[in-house]
Amino acid sequence: MTDEGLKGARGLIGKRAIITGGASGIGLAIATAFARQGAAVSIVDQNEAGARAAAEGIGGAASAFGCDVSDAERVRETFEAIFVRGRVDILVNCAGVAHVGTVESTSEEDFDRIMRINVRGVYLCTRAVVGHMKERGGGVILNMASIAGMAGLPDRFAYSTSKGAVLAMTFSVARDYLGARIRCNAISPARVHTPFVDGFVAKNYPGREREMMETLGRAQPVGRMAEPEEVASLAVWLCSDEAGFVTGANYPLDGGYMNLRG
């Protein structure tokens, strides 16, 4: 869905949103799309300089906060600083890191790092916001999961484990806070063309970048990777008032990967 097509979905006007991992990639695309739809966005990212640059690029009511989402005290302090600015209606848990490896090749240190950021980070940020949302009559939480949490992808042991946990947390929060009018959903993208992918390919396949990008694109039945803006378009709708009947749902944004693979 394009920005033009979203003009009718005005459920974000006057909303305030926290977007973790909003300094780049999918998070930045979501922050930008939310702002275009009338929301005030608070970008929370471990890369504080990147968060500030993103907020400046978005302009308007965008603000930036440096925060390691796996640090409980920093999350509490950061969210309290955001709450002072006004009611928070939306939390998008987008901060996360990737990892390549099987159970044998994944070190304990790598496994703990993935769990700390991808799982503990979602837990801490969700815990920090639900009380605030309950007191104010509701809100929306959107978690960025992955098809890796739903399908057996090769060499993605720790990452798949973490995204499976994100999906479980999504369903649990949706169930527990129905009465508080807090909706909680997830998006599970297939491979998305982000700066991370560009960097990964350049580092691991020097001189073969074009070939590898085409190979990665063909992994999706539609023949290409998703663009961050396509994920953002779905995020806009799920966090808008137009999706008020949607909670406890996981939306694969996968170019047909889950159902159309040969």
pLDDT interval class at 262 (50, 70, 90): low
Q: Average model confidence (pLDDT) for the chain?
A: 94
Do 132 and 153 meet the contact criterion of CB atoms below 8 Å apart? no
Q: CA-to-CA distance for 160 and 141, rounded, in angstroms?
A: 21
**Is residue 142 classed exposed, middle or buried when 0-12, 13-18 and 19+ CB atoms within 10 A define those classes?**
buried
Catalytic-role residue among 159, 177, 251, 257 = 159
DSSP label at 71?
-
pLDDT of residue 6: 47
Q: Over the stretch 110-134, which tens digit does the pLDDT of each residue have?
A: 999 999 999 999 999 999 999 999 9
pLDDT of residue 196: 82
Q: Over the stretch 174-197, which tens digit does the pLDDT of each residue have?
A: 999 999 999 999 999 999 998 888
Report the first-to-last Cα separation within the chain, whole angstroms.
Answer: 27
DSSP label at 95?
-
Q: Does domain 5-190+228-252 fall into CATH 3.40.50.720?
A: yes
pLDDT of residue 10: 60
3-state secondary structure 168-213: HHHHHHHHHCCCCCEEEEEEEECCECCHHHHHHHHHHCCCCHHHHH
**177 classed as catalytic:** no
Q: What percent of the chain has pLDDT over 70?
A: 96
pLDDT of residue 11: 74
pTM: 0.93
Q: What share of the chain is helix, strand, coil (3-state, %, to 5)?
A: 50, 15, 35
Q: Over the stretch 139-152, which tens digit does the pLDDT of each residue have?
A: 999 999 999 999 98
